[in-house]
Amino acid sequence: MVRADALRTKREVARAFFGRPSPRVITSAVALALGARLAVGRWSWVDPVILALVAAASGIVEWLLHRHLLHADEESWTTRRLGTGRGHRRHHLDPPDLEWLLLHRVDALVFAVVIAVASVAWTVPAMVVAGRLFGGVGLLAPALTSVLAAYLALAHYEWTHLLEHTRYRPRTGYYRRMARLHRLHHHRNERYWLGITSSSGDRLLSTLPETADIPISATARTLA
């Protein structure tokens, strides 16, 4: 199997990305959600608001999942019952290994279901309130927009995470910066720089320090 640190061009990264199960599951979910959203129609001011809210929340959500699920203690309930941290520990032991860098197929399927449920769970009550305040706000179209936005965020997460472990040098400052911070997370100290696609969670929750202020951790690979 090709390792992430052997990928040097965007074409090689894309080929490796779509050769793995999780991107195929996630892009299929995006296509289904987009098809459903286009079929329903009824576009309104609500759609860009939902897209903006999902984009703003994604950095904080991924920080919380990374810190409290993926980095959970081995004796925690989530690790013992759900096994959420075991694969991530394998990833830290050998970060460029594609087998543990990207989600497995079953994990991607579970995420797709959970994301759909969570998206509907927050969107429907919000639209009920918005409808009472502004009128003319439906439920189905905004819920589908929310699901689609969340699936796009998950696809971007997987793509960015892979990119951060390759030898490809992104042209944009955003991707270069996120790659540098993620490498610090793996090779300097696992308690900091927990964002993958955004530093908003790190900034808000005080895990975005100056590099020189943070000592090299002896457990960055083992998460022990």
pLDDT beyond 90 at 183: yes
pTM for this entry: 0.92
Q: Is 77 inside a domain boundary?
A: yes
Q: Which residues contact 41 (CB under 8 A, 6 or more apart)?
A: 141
| Domain contains 205 | yes
| 78, part of any domain | yes
Answer whether residue 50 is part of any domain: yes
The confidence band for 137, taking pLDDT boundaries of 50, 70 and 90, is confident
The answer, yes or no, to whether residue 78 has pLDDT greater than 70, is no
Instruction: Give 83's pLDDT tier (boundaries 50, 70, 90).
Output: low
Total structural domains within the chain: 1
pLDDT at 27 over 90: yes
Q: What is the mean pLDDT of the chain?
A: 91
Q: Does 4 or 213 have the greater pLDDT score?
A: 4
Residue 218 counted as domain residue: no
Domain with 127 in it: 4-213
Report whether 175 contacts 37 (CB < 8 A): no
Q: Report if residue 23 sits inside a domain.
A: yes
Give the chain's radius of gyration (CA, Å): 19
Q: Determine phi and psi for 179, rounding to 5 degrees.
A: -65, -45
Tell me how far apart the alpha carbons of residues 156 and 158 are, in angstroms, rounded to a whole number.
6
- Tell me if 192 is assigned to some domain: yes
Section 136-141 average pLDDT: 84
Long-range contacts of 107-112 (CB under 8 A, 24+ apart): 107/22, 108/21, 108/22, 108/25, 108/26, 109/25, 111/154, 112/25, 112/26, 112/29, 112/151, 112/154
Determine what percent of the chain is predicted with pLDDT higher than 90.
79
pLDDT, tens digit (0-9, with 9 covering 90-100), for 146-171? 999 999 999 999 999 999 999 999 99
| pLDDT exceeds cutoff 90 at 12 | yes
Q: What's the confidence (pLDDT) of residue 80?
A: 62
Q: Give domain status of residue 220, yes or no.
A: no
pLDDT score of 135 more than 90:
no
What mean pLDDT do residues 125-133 have?
85
The answer, yes or no, to whether residue 26 has pLDDT greater than 80, is yes
Summarize pLDDT for 106-120 with one digit per residue, the tens.
999 999 999 999 999
Average pLDDT over residues 52-72: 93
Residue 94 has pLDDT above 90, yes or no: yes
Out of 59-68, 72-81, 200-209, pick the least confident. 72-81
Condensed to tens digits (0 to 9), the pLDDT of residues 139-151 reads 899 999 999 999 9
